[in-house]
Amino acid sequence: MNYVRIAADECKGCRLCVQNCPNNCLGIGSEINQMGYQAAVFKNPNCTACGICFYVCPEPGAVTVYKNEERINA
Ligand code: SF4
Ligand code: SF4
């Protein structure tokens, strides 16, 4: 299974990942993180592990992509 893990406290809620996912896999959650932002959340199983969300994210460490359970970005 492919999926993306968002480190909620690293996310500033900029939505770049949400807007650029070709499969509409990401959204903005309702919870406020420790920095006062509403963090992105992974919301559906159609992820192809393309990595676009990782590449567009300005926050190092916020997005980790897993392809068939294997981590594909540092
Ligand atoms: S890896 Fe690709 S398909 Fe999966 S959530 Fe990120 S942008 Fe969307
Ligand atoms: S691109 Fe990064 S900082 Fe922006 S909402 Fe997505 S995970 Fe958060």
CATH code, domain carrying 44:
3.30.70.20
Residue 48 falls inside a structural domain: yes
Question: b/e per residue, 15-49, with b = 16+ CB within 10 A?
Answer: ebbbeebeeebbbbbeeebeeebbbbbbbeeebeb
Tell me which of 59, 64, 65, 73 to substitute to probe ligand 2's pocket, judged by most ligand atoms within 8 Å of the beta carbon: 59
Q: Which domain holds residue 37?
A: 3-66
Query: Is residue 73 in some structural domain?
Result: no
Average pLDDT of the chain is 96
Question: Is the residue at 71 inside a domain?
Answer: no
Which regions of the chain does DSSP assign to beta strands (E)? 3-6, 26-32, 38-42, 63-67, 70-71
What is the pTM for the complete model shown? 0.95
**Helical (H) or strand (E) element with 51:** none
Residue closest by Cα to atom 4 of ligand 1: 47
Residue 32 placed within a domain: yes
Which atom of ligand 1 lies nearest, measured to the CA of 52?
7
Residues at CB less than 6 angstroms from ligand 2: 6, 11-17, 39-40, 56-57, 59, 62-63
In a domain, 25, yes or no: yes
pLDDT > 80? residue 74: no
Q: What is the count of structural domains for the chain?
A: 1
pLDDT-based confidence at residue 73 (cuts at 50, 70, 90): confident
